[in-house]
């Protein structure tokens, strides 16, 4: 029975509940013996770096919030079972309540390739800052100060930021992780 043709579909879930949907789907698959119909359930994630209390923290963030990718053969009751999982809104398709539309292979490869690329390059941080751009300090003794980028050292991942402190301009050397772009 494992020769059933499977395609990738996008299941819409309540944003923030993707992991719970995946967990409940896997539970339902084993409970009802649907291993022949559903191959993989993926939540595309990316690694994000943050600084909290002066420490660099790796955090996994959902790359496509509100969406769960599923490789399945939607035969018989399978779509109905998937739709009735708590926190599932439905399948991504052309029309509301219509038949689920499978993803094109190029889309699947692009998304899966993007996910692989993000996990491989987790240590590589490329934050495109520009000289003259306004930034806000988010870590260190000058937290919440705003300034303008004066110089960029890409090798050391450091910025020289001109900050006004007590009415006087001071040049600070900060790492990429200590600043964020001002909106």
117 contacts: CB under 8 Å, gap ≥ 6: none
Q: How many residues does the chain have?
A: 183
**Cβ atoms within 10 Å, residue 52:** 10
Half-sphere exposure of 7 (CA within 13 A, CB side): 13
Match domain 7-120 to its CATH number in 3.40.190.10, 1.10.10.10, 3.30.70.940, 3.40.640.10: 3.30.70.940
Is pTM, for the whole model, over 0.75?
A: no
Q: Tell me if 181 sits within 8 A of 135, measured CB to CB.
A: yes
pLDDT per residue rounded down to tens, the chain (183 residues): 445 688 999 999 998 899 999 999 999 989 988 888 888 899 888 777 777 766 777 788 888 889 999 999 988 888 888 888 999 988 887 677 677 888 888 888 887 776 666 555 544 555 578 889 999 988 888 889 999 999 998 888 889 999 998 889 999 999 888 888 887
Q: Which CATH class is domain 134-181?
A: mainly beta
pLDDT of residue 9: 92
Domain-wise residue ranges, the chain: 7-120, 134-181
Tokens of 38: 């559903």
């Amino acid at each position: 029975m494992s020769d059933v043709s499977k395609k990738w579909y996008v299941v819409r879930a309540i944003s923030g509940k993707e992991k719970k949907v995946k967990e409940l789907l896997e539970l339902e698959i084993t409970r009802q013996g649907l291993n022949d119909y559903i191959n993989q359930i993926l939540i595309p994630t990316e690694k994000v770096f943050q600084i909290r209390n002066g420490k660099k923290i790796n955090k996994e963030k959902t790359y496509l919030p509100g969406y769960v990718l599923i490789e399945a053969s939607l035969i018989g009751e399978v779509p109905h079972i998937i739709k009735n999982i708590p926190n599932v809104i439905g399948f991504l398709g052309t029309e509301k309540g219509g038949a689920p539309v499978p993803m094109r292979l190029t889309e699947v490869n692009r998304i899966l390739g993007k996910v692989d690329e993000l996990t491989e390059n987790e240590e590589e941080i490329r934050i495109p800052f520009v000289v003259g751009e306004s930034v806000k300090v988010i870590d260190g003794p000058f937290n919440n100060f705003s300034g303008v980028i004066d110089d960029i050292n890409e090798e050391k991942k450091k910025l020289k930021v001109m900050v006004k402190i007590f009415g006087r301009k001071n040049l600070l050397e900060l790492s990429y992780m200590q600043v964020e772009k001002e909106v």
